[in-house]
Amino acid sequence: MSELLSPAEVQGAAERVAQLQKGLNQVLLDQAQVVEQVTAAVLARGHMLLEGLPGLGKTELCKALARLLGMPFRRIQFTPDLLPGDITGTYVLEGEGRRDFTFREGPLFANVVLADEINRSSPKTQAALLEAMQERSVTVLGQTRPLPEPFFVLATQNPIELEGTYPLPEAQLDRFLFRVQVPPVGAKTLSTLLTTRVRGTPPVLTSVTDAEGLASLFAAVDRVHLPVPVADFIGRLVESSDPRSPGAPEPVRRFVRYGASPRAALALAASGRALALMRGKPNVGFDEVVAAAPAVLNHRLVLAYEASLEKVGSLDVVRALLQAVPEVPRA
């Protein structure tokens, strides 16, 4: 077991994370919760799916994250004609005289990759991301190549323009640590945007860390203590998301066909540790699990047909689940 963090170490790490959040808040105005979730996903070394209407700043947020981390960034615009080799890389003939096949890396070979409008590409191209997101490697013609470390995929999709799209399969959704809804902004935020940014251009940011600094934050997150009662709460939450579980609440039994996978429990623990460090705490509390649960679980529940009939969404089920499962088991 790793040595627990000292108060000084927790405070130092929290201050460095606050600098990252401050930079992201300068780009995405008045979206503190989204910024917190993006930061937590980075510290938990997870991928993130951002959903929201066009023009809400999802792409700029991803670009700003790469600049603040001081790491290479690549953007992939997903379209129906995009091929797997366009993102993983492929072999090309090079040289004069005796020509040899040389592997040319695709845009996945970067630390921060933006998969823009990911649901507009074919299932075959989407599937090319599965190995990259889970194993942090790509295999082309039988040869496996590791991707840079750390490796983050931030994907976006528009929830309203569904014509000509290919819904992400459950196996791919499960690879995302969080699915986050980016809400519209209010009049006050729009007024600030109009008066402080010419043509909406975001501020120029400088990096607040580098690969070495980020690695030290990862190490600090791993040393955040997960108490047994909190781990037990995570286990009961995930178990109760299955409609066949004896502890499943009524909304789960009515509206869920398949519950969350064990990967959801790992995601709750990792994001709980990240949120605890961001809040200056050496231990994960129930509050961190509750805060992370909607973004962790909402895309991992496969809803039944009855949910669409009664206009019940996955977030509604997650909220009901959090209300029904006690933090401490009832006697």
Q: What is the pLDDT of residues 86-101, one digit of tens each?
A: 999 888 877 676 677 7
Q: What is the pLDDT of residues 122-143, one digit of tens each?
A: 888 888 888 889 889 998 888 8
> According to the model, what pLDDT value does residue 331 have?
59
Taking residues 2-12, report their average pLDDT: 84
CATH code 3.40.50.12710 for 1-197: no
β pairing state of 112-116 and 73-77:
parallel
Under the banding of pLDDT at 50, 70 and 90, the label for residue 273 is: very high
Is the link from the previous residue into 227 a cis peptide, with omega within 30 of 0?
Answer: no
What is the fold of 225-326? Helicase, Ruva Protein; domain 3 (1.10.8)
**Model confidence at 61: pLDDT above 90:** no
* Spatial CA neighbour of 91 closest among 112, 80, 105, 81: 105
> According to the model, what pLDDT value does residue 164 have?
67
**Model confidence at 26: pLDDT above 70:** yes
Domain map (residue ranges) of the chain: 1-197, 225-326
Between 172 and 20, where is the model more confident? 20
Q: Which helix (H) or strand (E) holds 69?
A: helix 58-69
> According to the model, what pLDDT value does residue 95 have?
67
Instruction: Write down the mean pLDDT value for the chain.
Output: 89
> According to the model, what pLDDT value does residue 171 have?
83
Residue-wise over 220-242: b if at least 16 C-beta within 10 A, else e?
bbebbebeeebbebbebbbbbbb
Name the H helices within 89-150: 123-135
* DSSP SS3 for 237: helix
**Model confidence at 146: pLDDT above 80:** yes
> According to the model, what pLDDT value does residue 97 have?
65
Supply the pTM of this predicted model. 0.90
**Model confidence at 71: pLDDT above 80:** yes
> According to the model, what pLDDT value does residue 298 have?
92
Name the H helices within 141-198: 170-173, 187-196
Taking residues 252-256, report their average pLDDT: 94
Under the banding of pLDDT at 50, 70 and 90, the label for residue 237 is: very high
Lowest mean pLDDT among 245-249, 270-274, 319-323, 327-331: 327-331
**Model confidence at 299: pLDDT above 80:** yes
Taking residues 182-189, report their average pLDDT: 85
Q: What is the pLDDT of residues 105-121, one digit of tens each?
A: 889 999 999 999 888 88
**Model confidence at 1: pLDDT above 60:** no
* Spatial CA neighbour of 123 closest among 162, 68, 78, 161: 78
Same fold, 1-197 and 225-326: no
Q: What percent of the chain has pLDDT over 90?
A: 51
